[in-house]
Structure 1
Amino acid sequence: MSETTDPAGRPGDDVLYDVVLIGYGPVGQTLAALLGQAGREVAVFERWPRLYGRARAGHVDHEIMRIFQSLGIAERVERDMFRATKYVFRNADGETLLTFDWDADGISGWPSDYIMYQPSIEDALDAAVRAQPTVSVHQGWEATAIAPHEDHVEITLRESTESRSGESASGARTRTVRARYLVGADGANSFVRTRLGASQTDFGFRETWFVCDLEPNVPLDLGFDNGQVCDPARPHCLFQLGARHRRFEFALLPGEDPGRFRDPRAAWELLAPYGVTPGKADLVRHAVYTFEAKLADRWRRGRILLAGDAAHVMPPFMGQGMCSGIRDAKALAWRLDLVLRGLAADAVLDGYQAERAPHVETLIRMSVEAGRVSCTFDPEIAAARDEAFRRGEVAPPPPFPHLLDGLLDTGAGGRAAEVVGRLAPQGRVRSGGRTGRFDDVVGHGWTLLLAPGADCDLTPGQAAVLDRLGARIVALGEDPADIDGYYAGYFARTGLSMILYRPDFYVFGAAEDGAAAGRVVDALGRSIGGPSQIPAVP
């Protein structure tokens, strides 16, 4: 367990940290690694004395892989992943009702979707965090009080019961730390959210399922690899969980006692129809979960913010719960860094919820609708559902959401407006003798990207805005060379000559010709605002 000294060797309780994080799951880990990468002094506190070590989430998409790439762990985690190409909803007779096609590569430069084993992700993120000299991790401590002040937040912590081998709370060690900002990434039962005073919108979905994770000892031929079985007798799903594990999830029937599923024999009974027996696989985890759909109405109050499940929870039927939290971490990290460096007004943090909450709400609603397809226990209702799908009376799932508000050039018009708030492309390039994905070869962060052959004229003031942010101007041509024609195709399809995208890879603004590029940079300068009143931290 990392204890009470900060990276510079000072007593941890005497430090004014840039950021204190409560929670060290994948969202807290990602945010800690990103802030450490930016040189911020960060302390992380987690009630559990060690990593959880068991799978919960099971899916990441191309955007999350690009975020992992920015932390230098994408290739490591990919080795223990399974590339998914289809996720299918079938009825009890095996008819396909709905299919999510994941065959193509995503715009982020990675395959569209992967099924993963969460402990592998957490191990890789933990290594990325501990490689940052300005980040300290304190496991086995839980927050008990939060006191906001004008220029900092004070957090009181107590050694958690999980770390004290049965000692009473009265005998536990306590400590108090201070930070310019506090982020609660402490899960669905967030202590930080409670202290922030945030209420939650409940979308009216509550279903209890039994999750079984297996490590096969022999190849399993199940006849159906990845998807939902929408059988009213007992809805369930099964899928490959990373390269080495499999998961089954079974809905608990109305009135069924969750307590009986604590016995491993309940798992083997449900697995038996698939021919899965104790000799063929090890049951590495079995647990009962209640899936809910909730969204916090407030993600920020002053210097206190929320991320991940502390801000939103959704059913797992779209595989976007953890992904959404990691997006939160990426969106929050660069904002906090700019404000802490005195390069942006504190109001930049208000755009965090403004853009993330609608994005998450759309995904919650999509997840709920997908869940309702599966979670049907009445045979007559299920039969009517199946017939509606057969007749084509069910509308296809809506397109994946993009950002609509927040720190974006919302005044853009024409073709530029069509890409604002959407992910920027990542293709392969060659530069200085290196060939690879753009971010690895050229770098990542604020980027003004010019189409092959395009040019732009910026005034000294506009160039200063980009320089202030550490933005790079990249003109595709001979160096870096667009070796696969990927960028040429993107700019031809969009009719644009340049895009300006943020450190989280979302397009801030775009222009159809070089003369309009300056207007985009001006819009960025206005959006970022003047220097913050918070003293800059070197």
Structure 2
Amino acid sequence: MVIVGAGPTGLAAANMLGLLGISTLLIERNPDLCTFPRAISIDDEGLRVCQALGLGDILLPSMRLGTEAHYISGPHYLARVAPLACRNGFPLISTFHQPTFERALLQGLERFPHVHVRFQYELVNLTQAKDEVFLSLRQPDGGRQQIKCSYVLACDGGRSPIRHMLDLGMRPPSLLPFSRRQRSERSQSGAMQRWLVVDCAGDDDPSNAIIFFCNPKRPAVTVPAPNGGRRWEFMLHPHEQPDDLLRLERIQELIMQSRRSQRHWSAGKPACVIRQAVYTFYATMASRLFRHRVFLLGDAAHLMPPFGGQGMNSGLRDVHNLCWKLSLVFQGNASPHLLASYQTERVPHVREMILFSSALGHIIMPTSRRAALARDLLLRGVVARIPPLVESLREMRVKPQPRYKRGLILPATSLKHRHLPGTYLPQPQVLTLQGRSLLFDDLLCSGFALLKLSGEANQAEQPLMHPLWSTLQPRYIVLLPPSSTLKTHWPEHITPVVDSDGSLRSLFGSSQDTYLLVRPDRYILGVFRANEEVAFARRLIRLLSP
């Protein structure tokens, strides 16, 4: 396996493949990791992927966990996003320092003797055969090296040379049936924006909130970062030249103008600017996410505005979706046709995230005074008076929820459970046999899991007998109610846990003879009753090996 690009997505993929025991080469054309921050926001799903990489204990202490998001128009609050829910085991909004994040991911690769990293190696060309990919690499001394591998993961950024080699174009997603020409016209007019991005150190602002300044004269955002850091972002108007806004005195002026609109603002000290740059934000995705044996992940596959904070998080989701499928294929437990489900599953969710981020930007960051006034009237005059809508905004339920409707999913035969396949399994705290409280995913490791209810702590559980289970080797977990007392002796094939808050048990209703098969990326693959085991296993075998 070869991964091209040592950004967050490529490094995460290398760690995931390392955990799965797959021999991997990670190449990066630059001499080292990037030294300045680009991404800054990570959500609960992204943190759950970090946990799956086995690096949660290393990564989380360096992050600023549990931030809020405030939307301000002049002196008024339009909305506050302050989630209390913790469905995936982590806060919904957190911030991080990307160089620190990437360095920890790189150090994580030291766990795996079968994963190798080569800096200053640049991919020059690749060709694909039926069962292999041939790559031509430029070495640090300028010489060429020819290698071959089974698959290539292109994590080489928004300008992805590999995407160009594969002749895969980028286009803005749409829910409407626009023609390619119409989409091209839309991409030229409305799918890109220029923003000044400023990173500061030694910040004295006490706010722990991401603040959106919804001012049509100059839309802006400020994001608190770990260790006294803060990011500022300011929209450029079409007539403005980047060189003018990149001047330090102009940056200080913009920051001071924004800070004066904050209720807690005080004179403070000038911002300590450590980096400034002008970026163009796009809303676009590749026409296909793979071609034969080469897969696009992260920015190579999709680019989105930063308003939803979903750019890097979407790359982490790509990694978690694809790597375990590659492992199944390498082990001979699935046909290579299974890998097409990467496209089937990820494209709809990526499209939703791009449209969500774009719509959020249009709503909260219009440059038209009339549009801004209409927005203010709607949010302050209508939405603020409807408690369910206020709660929905506070808990960030407007964000598209993870759900796969097609792909490696088996529809339930029971109407009672038809909503479960394809959904993301919640992650509560559970109590183990040894009396330890831990996050549920820590029991699952990197494989499949079979979940079942148990009404009483001493109830006997019989193993499933179909040969498929010895192939997939799922962790068999019995969920006990909070009132249960764990007994000291359970069959070796069972891991009993007390579902402390009942969120896992609630998925079953009262069906104690029902099993949930959970994929390694924590999505529910299917649901079946004990008397449906054989039929379910046959359906799954057909899905894995068409």
TM-score, normalized by the shorter chain, greater than 0.5: yes
Which stretch of the first structure deviates more once superposed, 390-399 or 41-50?
390-399
1:257-406 to 2 correspondence within 5 Å?
A: 257-273=241-257, 274=259, 281-392=271-382, 397=398, 399-406=400-407
SS in 2 for 1:486: coil
- The answer for the alignment partner of 1:426 in structure 2 is 427
- Name the SS of the counterpart of 1:480 in structure 2: strand
Question: For residue 483 of structure 2, what is the aligned residue in structure 1?
Answer: none
Aligned counterparts of 2:508 and 2:150: Cα–Cα separation in 1: 45
Could you say which residue in structure 2 is the equivalent of 1:486? 502
- Looking at structure 2, the residues matched to 398 and 506 of structure 1 have their Cα atoms a distance apart, in angstroms, of 18
SS in 2 for 1:146: strand
- In the other structure, the counterpart of 2:194 is 208
| Counterpart position of 2:180 | none
- Residue 229 of structure 1 and its aligned partner are, at CA, apart by 1.0
Q: Deviations over 1:102-132 (max 9, x none)?
A: 22212x2222331222222212211112321
Moved over 4 A (4+): 275-281, 393-396, 454-459, 492-496
Residue 154 (structure 1) aligns with: 134
**Structure 2 letter corresponding to 1:368:** S
How far residue 227 of structure 1 moved from its aligned partner, in angstroms, is: 2.5
Q: 1:245 pairs with 197, 222, 229, which one?
A: 229
In structure 2, relative to structure 1, the CA distance for the partners of 1:345 and 1:65 (3 Å cut) is: same
Aligned twin of 1:467: 470
Question: Aligned equivalents of 1:387 and 1:363: distance in 2?
Answer: 26
Indicate yes or no: 2:500 matched with 1:500: no
**More deviation, 438-447/143-152:** 438-447
Aligned-residue sequence identity (percent) comes to 29
Partner of 1:28: 10
Per the normalisation by structure 1, the TM-score is 0.85
> How much does 1:259 deviate?
2.3
Q: In structure 1, what is the Cα distance between the partners aligned to 2:76 and 2:445?
A: 47
| 2:297 maps to amino acid | A
Residue matched to 1:139: 119
Q: CA deviation at 1:89?
A: 2.2
The 2-side partners of 1:102 and 1:498 are apart by 31
User: Which 5+ residue runs of structure 2 have no aligned equivalent?
Assistant: 174-186, 260-264, 481-485, 487-494
CA deviations on 1:370-410 (whole Å, 9 max, x unpaired) are 01123322222221222233343799736424111110113
Cα distance in 2 for partners of 1:60, 1:212 equals: 19
Deviation at 1:258, TM superposition (A): 1.3
User: Structure 2 counterpart of 1:505, which letter?
Assistant: R
Distance of aligned partners of 1:468 and 1:195 in 2 relative to their CA distance in 1, 3 Å threshold: same
Q: Hey, what does 1:173 align to over in structure 2?
A: 143
Q: CA deviation at 1:342?
A: 1.4
- Partners of 1:382 and 1:404 lie apart in 2 by 36
CA shift, 1:40, in A, is 0.9
Amino acid at match of 1:369: A
Give the 3-state SS of the residue equivalent to 2:283 in structure 1.
strand
Query: Which amino acid is the alignment partner of residue 400 of structure 1?
Result: Q
1:30-76 superposed Cα distances (whole Å, 9 cap, x missing partner) = 11111111111111111111110221112222222222112221122
State whether residues 451 and 487 of structure 1, in contact with CA within 8 Å, keep that contact through their aligned partners in structure 2. Answer: no
Counterpart in 2 of 1:15? Answer: none
For residues 422-472 of structure 1, the C-alpha deviation after alignment (integer angstroms, 9 at most, x for no partner) is 111223221345442233345342001112338887764x3x212212222
2:213 is paired with a residue of what secondary structure?
A: strand
CA distance in 2, matches of 1:372, 1:115: 23
Q: Could you list the runs of 5+ residues in structure 1 that have no partner in the other structure?
A: 1-18, 164-170, 531-538
Asked whether the 8 Å contact 2:477–2:497 carries over to 1, the reply is: no
Deviation at 1:369, TM superposition (A): 0.2
Match 1:53 to one of 21, 35, 43: 35
Q: Secondary structure at the match of 2:209?
A: coil
For residues 202 and 345 of structure 2, what CA distance do their matches in structure 1 show?
42
TM norm structure 2: 0.84
Q: 2:156 aligns with which of 186, 205, 209?
A: 186
Change in Cα spacing, 1:86 to 1:415, as seen in structure 2 (3 Å) is farther
Shift of 1:519: 4.0
| Superposed displacement of residue 525, structure 1 | 2.0
Partner AA of 1:42 in structure 2: T
Local SS of the residue matching 1:317: helix
Preserved contact between residue 19 and residue 446 of structure 2 (Cα < 8 Å): no
Structure 1 residues 268 and 495: alpha-carbon distance in aligned structure 2, compared to 1, 3 A threshold = farther
Change (3 A) 1:206 1:413: farther
Residue matched to 2:168: 198
Amino acid at match of 1:173: G
Could you report, residue by residue, the CA deviation over 1:116-165 in whole angstroms, capped at 9, with x for unpaired residues?
Answer: 22222212211112321111111112211111112211111224xxx6xx
Alpha-carbon shift at residue 413 of structure 1 (Å) = 4.3
CA RMSD in angstroms comes to 2.6
Partner Cα separation in structure 1 for residue 404 and residue 380 of structure 2: 34
